[in-house]
Amino acid sequence: MEVSEKRIEEIIHSYQPDRRYALAIMQDMQREFQYVPREGMEALAEELQCPVSSLYAMATFYKALSLVPKGKHIIKCCDGTACHIRGASTLIDGIRRELKIGPGETTQDGMFSLETVNCLGSCALAPVLVVDDVYYGKVTLEKLKEIIQGVKEGGAE
């Protein structure tokens, strides 16, 4: 999605001008643009009368926030102990082959981003993928291809 200065201002002004709302505002920007744009942080810093560096520190601390555009569909692959033992690295390699991206990368068309996470809290279903907040358990390479194809055809199910 294209970054709109007007939309940034709307997001910022939907909160009181108080530093305690900085994280919530950046989360709203993340939801709107798939990342926290630099111009958004600069406008927020001006509104809150704080240095951009303090907002940058916050944005880089929280893994849920990104300073680079993410894909329309976010694939989170658990690489915690149970998932790792049960083949998470095979799934990551499968995603690399299918989508030509590795962890932390986004496809050239902006459709998919891949993230690895330490635990998704579904160890009994290992290995686990989450695509657009939909959990998939006991994922095999065959099931991975079906999931990706399903998302391409109309979204996570």
User: What are 102-129's pLDDT values in tens digits?
Assistant: 999 999 999 999 999 999 999 999 999 9
50 in a known ligand binding site: no
What predicted TM-score, i.e. pTM, was given to this entire model? Answer: 0.75
Q: Which fold has domain 73-154?
A: Glutaredoxin (3.40.30)
Task: Give the model's pLDDT for residue 144.
Answer: 97
Give the relative orientation of helices 52-61 and 38-48 as an angle to the nearest 10 degrees: 120
Task: Give the model's pLDDT for residue 115.
Answer: 93
The answer to whether residues 59 and 41 touch, using CB atoms and an 8 Å cutoff, is yes
In this prediction, residue 1 has a pLDDT band, given cuts at 50, 70 and 90, of low
Length of the chain: 157
User: What are 50-87's pLDDT values in tens digits?
Assistant: 999 999 999 999 878 999 888 999 999 999 999 999 99
123 in a known ligand binding site: yes
Residue ranges covered by each domain of the chain: 5-61, 73-154
77 in a known ligand binding site: no
